[in-house]
Amino acid sequence: MHLLGKVALVTGGASGIGVGICKKLAEKGAKVVVNYIGDSYEEKAKNLVQEIRANGGDAIWISGDVTNQTHVEQMINSTLEQYGKIDILVNNAGITIDGLTQNLETEDFIKVLSVNLVGPFLTMKLALPHMIANKFGRIINISSVAALIGLRGAPAYAASKAGLIGLSKTTAREVARKGITVNVICPGYINAGMTERVAQEYLDSMTPLIPMGIFGEPEDIGGGVVFLASDEAKLITGEVIRIDGGIAM
């Protein structure tokens, strides 16, 4: 499953699951654009790019807010200026603001949807014309098992990730005859990102609920992304793939 000569843009690529995705894409020969936002992630993005380059890969970092259309336009244009095309788009950037439905502030609900759902809409909207012109594209949107089974105390997160599945399936139908596939990966509990901010006793209580009995690693999600971006998956579109140790089966 090689991706030699392909150009991949990964939103939220500087931390958590995004790091595993970027590394796996680079290992398979893709040129990787690591998107991040905020000064706190700039050093992480630069370190990741340097690591990829040190291992013989090709990567750059680009700052940009996926909820801001001007930023997304700049992100797309910078990728085109550097590499001339966008073959693979991975919508990985995401946030959560937790709270029971009756307690969650409305503005927090909207903020989560803006990043997790509006963000992927904007990146797809602006990347698709270039993919259509090239008659090739692989879009992989990172959702969550929370979209499939719900997650107590995370109504905004679960709703946004469920919405992303609907958006992905609709877009997949729209571009299916244009050489472009759109698929979704639903991670379960992964040893990175959001789980790092969860109390250990909660994580310990969840482990018995996972049939395989283990949490995943960022590279596990990266492996799924590589497959869906490769020629081996050319007939797969509109699909939702769980990488979750069986928790949502």
What pLDDT digit, counting tens, does each position of 86-109 carry? 999 999 999 999 999 999 999 999
Sheet holding 7-10, edge to edge: 58-63, 31-36, 7-10, 88-91, 137-142, 180-187, 240-243
Residue 226: closest CA among 51, 32, 95, 44: 32
Give me the domains of the chain, ranges plus CATH numbers. 7-188+219-242 (3.40.50.720)
- Give the separation between CA 143 and CA 84, rounded to whole angstroms: 28
Q: Annotated catalytic sites, by residue?
A: 157
Q: The tokens of 154 are what?
A: 């995370």
- Strands 88-91 and 58-63, bridge-based pairing: unpaired
Residue 221: closest CA among 248, 195, 241: 241
31 DSSP β-pair partners: 7, 58
DSSP 178: G
Per-residue pLDDT of the chain (249 residues; tens, 9 = 90+): 699 999 999 999 999 999 999 999 999 999 999 999 999 999 999 999 999 999 999 999 999 999 999 999 999 999 999 999 999 999 999 999 999 999 999 999 999 999 999 999 999 999 999 999 999 999 999 999 999 999 999 999 999 999 999 999 999 999 999 999 999 999 999 998 666 666 777 777 888 889 999 999 999 999 999 999 999 999 999 999 999 999 999
- Give the separation between CA 172 and CA 237, rounded to whole angstroms: 6
For 93-116, give the DSSP string.
--------TTTS-HHHHHHHHIII
For 46, residues 6+ apart whose C-beta sits below 8 A from its C-beta are 61
Can you give the pLDDT at residue 192?
A: 85
Q: Are 152 and 131 in contact (CB under 8 A)?
A: no
33 DSSP β-pair partners: 9, 60
Q: Are 33 and 59 in contact (CB under 8 A)?
A: yes
With the C-alpha atoms ordered 94, 97, 100, 102, is the resulting torsion angle positive or negative?
A: negative
Q: Are 67 and 122 in contact (CB under 8 A)?
A: yes
Can you give the pLDDT at residue 197?
A: 64
Q: What does pTM read for this prediction?
A: 0.95
